[in-house]
Amino acid sequence: MTKKNIGVIMGGYTSEFQISLKSGQVVCDTLNKEHYRVFPLHLLKDKWTGFLEDGTELDIDRSDFSLNAEGEKITFDCIFNAIHGSPGENGYIQAYLELLGIPQTSCGMYQSALTYNKRDCLSVLRSYGIKTAGYYYLNLGDPIDTEAIIEKVGLPCFVKANKAGSSFGISKVSDKNDLLKAIEVSFREDDEILIESFLEGTEVSVGVITYRGEVKVMPVTEIVTENDFFDYEAKYQGKSQEITPARISHEEEARVKEVAERVYRILRMKGFSRSEFIFVNGEPHLLEINTVPGLTRESILPQQARVEGISLSDLFESAIEEALRG
- pLDDT, tens digit (0-9, with 9 covering 90-100), for 147-170: 999 999 999 999 999 986 545 678
- Minimal CA–CA distance to 217: which of 307, 114, 152, 133? 307
pLDDT confidence of residue 298: 87
- Minimal CA–CA distance to 169: which of 148, 152, 183, 179? 183
- Judged by DSSP in three states, 62 sits in coil
Counting Cα atoms < 13 Å in the Cβ hemisphere of 7 gives 24
Helices H / strands E in the chain, number of each: 10, 16
- Judged by DSSP in three states, 12 sits in strand
pLDDT confidence of residue 273: 98
The predicted model scores a pTM of 0.91
pLDDT confidence of residue 189: 87
Cα separation, 17 vs 82, whole angstroms: 10
- Judged by DSSP in three states, 198 sits in coil
135-197 adopts what CATH topology? Dna Ligase; domain 1 (3.30.1490)
114-130+200-325 adopts what CATH topology? D-amino Acid Aminotransferase; Chain A, domain 1 (3.30.470)
Cα separation, 8 vs 250, whole angstroms: 38
189 in Cβ contact with 168 (< 8 Å) = yes
Q: What Rg value do the Cα atoms of the chain yield, rounded?
A: 20
pLDDT confidence of residue 325: 94
- Minimal CA–CA distance to 112: which of 124, 129, 95? 95
Alpha carbon separation from 202 to 194, 199, 305 (Å, rounded): 21, 9, 21
Alpha carbon separation from 213 to 97, 270, 273, 275, 314 (Å, rounded): 22, 10, 15, 20, 13
| Per-domain boundaries in the chain | 4-105, 114-130+200-325, 135-197
What is the SS3 string spanning 210-271?
A: EECCEEEEEEEEEEEECCCCCCHHHHHCCCEEEECCCCCCHHHHHHHHHHHHHHHHHCCCCC
* 72, β-bridge pairs: 69
**What percent of the chain stands above pLDDT 70?**
94
pLDDT confidence of residue 263: 98
Longest dimension (CA), the chain: 66
Instruction: Give the burial class of 154: count Cβ atoms within 10 A of its Cβ; 0-12 exposed, 13-18 middle, 19 or more buried.
Output: exposed
Please identify every stretch of the chain with a pLDDT value under 70, giving residue numbers as ranges: 164-168, 227-239
Q: Under 8 Å CB-to-CB from 54, ≥6 apart: which residues?
A: none
pLDDT in tens, 77-124: 999 999 999 999 999 999 999 999 999 999 999 999 999 999 999 999
Cis peptide before 40 (omega within 30 of 0): no
The backbone region for 238, taken as left when phi is positive above 0, alpha when psi lies in -120 to 50, beta otherwise, is left
- CATH class label, 4-105: alpha beta
- Minimal CA–CA distance to 85: which of 140, 38, 171, 24? 24
pLDDT confidence of residue 230: 46
